[in-house]
A and B are shown apart, each in its own frame.
Chain A
Amino acid sequence: MPAVSMTVNGRAVHREVEGRTMLVDFLREQLGLTGTHVGCDTTQCGACVVHVNGLAIKSCTMLALQCDSALVTTIEGLAPPGTPLHPMQAAFRQHHALQCGYCTSGMVMMALDIVRRLGEPDEATIREELKGNICRCTGYHNIVKAIAAGAAAMVASHA
């Protein structure tokens, strides 16, 4: 069986994987990082979004083997246990941007990618940028507010 090495949330990992293993299943089942979720089978819902080499990608549609030597960040890696929430996470909580929580990891990871690329986008842009993330609970209203607030906090802290 082939093997893959990558760094996940700052820790080097090395495992054997079948070629057909998607990154999301590798993370969830072999590394026990169940904060990333699977919500669909057509690469649409975004519940599986993580960062690979700094870019938001859909881990259900990327092979684990394609991540050899990559730096992977999952939701668990944003704020290690015992440390305060990342400003984007804090913004989600502040604005009641999660209900069942199933889409939330993907939303937060995508939100960080939005800020990375666009800084502090306006509401219409944020809504467009969430094209690949589906939420069934919140109607997006609070998610959009949270992302705007999180973006402002992130940009301010880097100013």
Chain B
Amino acid sequence: MGQSSHLSLHGPTAADHGGIGRPITRLEDERLLRGGGCYVSDLIASSKPLRVKVLRSPHAHARIRAIDVAAARRLPGVVELLTADDLKNIGELPCDWVAPGMDVVPLQPVLARDRVRYVGEPVAAVAAETAHAADDALAGITVAYERMPAVVDQEAAIKEGAPRLHDAVPSNIAFRFRRAGGNVARAFAQADVVIRRRFINNRVTAAPLEGRAVLSDFDARVGRLTHHTSSQLPHAHARSLGECLGLPLHKLRLVAPDIGGGFGAKLGFYAEDVVCAVLSMRTGRSCAWAEGRGESFLATTHGRDQIQYVELAARRDGRMIGLRARLVTDIGAYALGMGPGVPAINTGLSVTGLYRIANVETEVIGVYTNRTPTGPYRGAGHPEASFLIERLVDDLARELALDPAELRRRNFVPSSAMPYRLPTGLTLDSGDYAANMETALTLAGYAELRQRQTQLRKEGRYFGIGLATISESSGVGPSMAMGAVGFRRAGHESARVVVHADGRATVFCGTQSTGQGHATSLAQIAASVLGIALDDIEVVEGDTLAVPFGTGTFNSRSMAIGGSAVYEAARKVMEKAKKIAAYKLQRRPRDLIYKNGVFRITAHAGASTSIAHLGKKVGEKVIRAVFKWRSGLELPVTRRDTEVVTFADIARAAHLGQDLPLGMAPGLEASHFFDPTDMLFDYGTHVAVVEVDPETGHIALLRHVMVDDCGRIINPLLVEGQAHGGAAQGIGQALMEAMVHGDGGEPLVRSYSEYAMPHATDLPSFETGHMEIPTKLNPLGVRGVGEGATIGATPAVVNAVLDALAPLGVTEVPIPMTPMQVWRAVERARHGLATADMDRSHRDLSAVGKAMQPQK
């Protein structure tokens, strides 16, 4: 399907200026550094829209008996109010990734009608002249709720008698997705060692520094909606918006301007987009909403939240032979966006990590609870899988008294075995995990670290080294396969390269940067092929009027899939350019070489070239003669004795169309849809070095080493940046980040004063290395880089802390490993209590605290 390159890597070579592989400083930075960023809230500040505010449910579960907006309507500055009654013709928010086997899909309504199911669920909306007037109006709305019992823990939600969220879903079970391969029962029967664990991969949230924001403007004169929104998926969201509103897509323009971070939270399609659009249609004014930080913790999807029961079967020599995983994952109150599919597919299929474990059984159980819906968050299901297997591997190493690196070595899928089909159905395409780990261990000085640990232990200090080797199935994905796993969006990506009459180019791509630097990296790809300067290329994303097709940015796909589309489109442009050049130079295309924007006749052109050349001269004379005979006019004389022709010359010729090869259409542009044939795998190794103070629970992150293989690197600076930022988020979950709810479902986290964000002082400088084994699955050889570091950092840091505290008998510290959690684990171990599975709930602080009182 539209893939003109083949598996052999004839890949691009870096041009001397600005091509693939160069560490180009970003083209967009000058503008951003001068304060010239244009985020949605900036558009709001510089226009005069009505300000929209949303009234949200204060209850985790309640019936709505009545909503009275009469008083609010009368307040000064209030222009329009919406409740569910006003949205009768409006659709519900879509679920774009339905887990396989999920027959009932309870969608979230734009505004709650007769029931609310999580604190923060939108109930009403108001558009007013000022934000203050809108706030006052919200205060003037009266809602009569009848509270219902809430369930806020996925294990409690599936118990007999638990409150039911959706009438059509008994036991609150959204789906059960099972995958199995090999013979797990036999493997466990034959095992010398079985490790059993219960892990909690806790609920976190992306918390990008820019909250969500919408500016919607319906022009009734032409029936056209122009909708600015902070989105990672402009095209998918345009489709969703059109469907919800019943608005034809040719009347909808959706623009994602500068976006201040996404990390998966802006992949969802949310109520506020619909609300602003509807309000604009009803009022005839543009309508804007901007999320407050406190609001974001309620209103924007959360991530992860899995309770994992896992069992690992191994032989005495360390070979892992069987894995069972039962993963109870919290979907939240509704099936929203990509929520259900992420844990089902991404976690469910990835539990074996990089290892050759032939017998696997996984079951992912999605559960509804009265909490904010979950969605993708950097890694999206892969961190949960890597966490469980990397923890198990370290626990097994401890059990067998084997070095954790050696244990991994014994179990990696070797590169010689690739492509390797995992028992869960994914195929690892290529990669050298052992070499990758060796590189990381060398970079970290692993042997010296172990010696240092021995020395420090003698001094009574708790120094730990933690490893994690991870991979991620990335680069969604083969469009045909997407349907098979319930993903209701495309997997391909598209690009269009347009060359202007002066030889400069615009690259349109369906991806959406939220900080990844596509304006530079995609330009580098195009520059590599077109041979023109980076400054002569502009990348356009995020505007459905300019870019008609697109899938978006997630799953580390932008360079692999979007970049490949750009590459192929640019190659098509070059094919045509070459033909025009050949025509101008009166040679065959293969007689030409192209470098730095100039076509030259190759010095090696031989006799056959001369004949072809002669043939073209004759042909041209014939055309001139015929033209004169028929029209009485002379064609302009074109010099044919030049040895070179520039790209700009060709571009001009293509635009004018006056002197092109016979039968060739004018113009110099091409589109390409790149539809991958399989998923990609980026992978890497993390080595974390920590020192822990058992007396206070304080953890010092001394070093963090990462070696990744993201395939071919388009821009090393950007790849480094993704590694650093990704690692910071993984470390955040390991040490401090948690979305916590009280027993009644009320979020206990409402601001950065409760949600701990990693700060500069918490983190070390990162030590990075890169391997580049290109994948054969796309013409660039790119595997993807956006999420790998997040996936690897969390288990590496956890393993390091457990390694540090092993002499104290600590075998588990739940994440996030806050100082208190570390101290509790140390205290439990000190009192001879088991630490594994010691904390069934993060919510009941006082109960756990009481249980922790040391015996005096």
Q: Is there a contact between chains A and B in the complex with CB atoms less than 8 Å apart?
A: yes
- Cβ-defined contact, A36 with B35, below 8 A: yes
Query: Nearest A residue to B295 by beta-carbon distance?
Result: A41
Stretch in A51-59, A63-71, A96-104, A151-159 with 4+ CB within 8 Å of B: A96-104
A126 at the interface (CB under 8 A from B): yes
Stretch in B55-63, B143-151, B396-404, B513-521 with 4+ CB within 8 Å of A: B513-521
- Cβ-defined contact, A142 with B34, below 8 A: no
- Cβ-defined contact, B29 with A92, below 8 A: yes
Q: Which of B38, B208, B292, B766 contacts A136 (CB 8 A)?
A: B208
- Cβ-defined contact, B34 with A98, below 8 A: no
Q: Which of A74, A94, A101, A144 contacts B37 (CB 8 A)?
A: A101
Residues facing A in B730-773 (CB within 8 A) are: 751-753, 757-761, 763, 765-766
Q: Which residues of A contact B37 (CB under 8 A)?
A: 34-35, 101-102, 104
- Cβ-defined contact, B751 with A100, below 8 A: no
- Cβ-defined contact, B208 with A130, below 8 A: no
Q: From residue B98, how far is it (CB to closest CB) to chain A in Å?
A: 30
Stretch in B215-223, B684-692, B720-728 with 4+ CB within 8 Å of A: B720-728
Q: Which residues of B contact A135 (CB under 8 A)?
A: 209, 760
Given the known interface contacts A130-B761, A139-B725, A143-B760, the answer about A42 and B751 at a Cβ–Cβ threshold of 8 Å is yes
Q: Which of A33, A79, A127 contacts B760 (CB 8 A)?
A: A127
Given the known interface contacts A99-B515, A126-B760, the answer about A28 and B766 at a Cβ–Cβ threshold of 8 Å is no
Q: Which of A89, A102, A139 contacts B763 (CB 8 A)?
A: A139
Query: Nearest A residue to B765 by beta-carbon distance?
Result: A141
Give Cα A93–Cα B752 distance, bound, in whole angstroms: 28
Stretch in B254-262, B579-587, B826-834 with 4+ CB within 8 Å of A: B254-262
Q: Which of B34, B258, B761 contacts A128 (CB 8 A)?
A: B761
Give Cα A142–Cα B753 distance, bound, in whole angstroms: 25
Give Cα A25–Cα B376 distance, bound, in whole angstroms: 32
Number of interface residues of B (CB under 8 A): 56
- Cβ-defined contact, B33 with A99, below 8 A: no
Residues facing B in A22-49 (CB within 8 A) are: 28-29, 32-42, 44-45, 47
Given the known interface contacts A42-B751, A128-B761, the answer about A96 and B207 at a Cβ–Cβ threshold of 8 Å is no
Q: Which residues of A contact B724 (CB under 8 A)?
A: 138-142
Given the known interface contacts A94-B25, A127-B760, A139-B727, the answer about A79 and B753 at a Cβ–Cβ threshold of 8 Å is no
Stretch in B39-47, B186-194, B555-563, B668-676 with 4+ CB within 8 Å of A: B39-47
Given the known interface contacts A99-B725, A140-B760, the answer about A41 and B293 at a Cβ–Cβ threshold of 8 Å is yes
6 cross-chain pairs, A with B, having the tightest CB-CB distances, nearest first: A35-B35, A100-B515, A102-B260, A139-B724, A139-B728, A99-B515
Contacts A/B (CB < 8 Å), 23 sampled: A32-B45, A34-B37, A39-B210, A39-B260, A39-B293, A40-B752, A42-B293, A44-B752, A75-B35, A99-B261, A100-B260, A101-B28, A102-B210, A104-B33, A105-B35, A127-B761, A131-B760, A134-B759, A136-B209, A140-B763, A141-B724, A141-B763, A144-B760
Query: Footprint of A on B, CB under 8 Å?
Result: 25-26, 28-30, 32-39, 41-42, 45-46, 206-211, 258-261, 263, 292-294, 514-517, 717-718, 720-721, 724-729, 751-753, 757-761, 763, 765-766
Query: Footprint of B on A, CB under 8 Å?
Result: 28-29, 32-42, 44-45, 47, 74-76, 78-79, 81, 85, 89, 92-94, 96, 98-105, 108, 123-124, 126-128, 130-131, 133-144
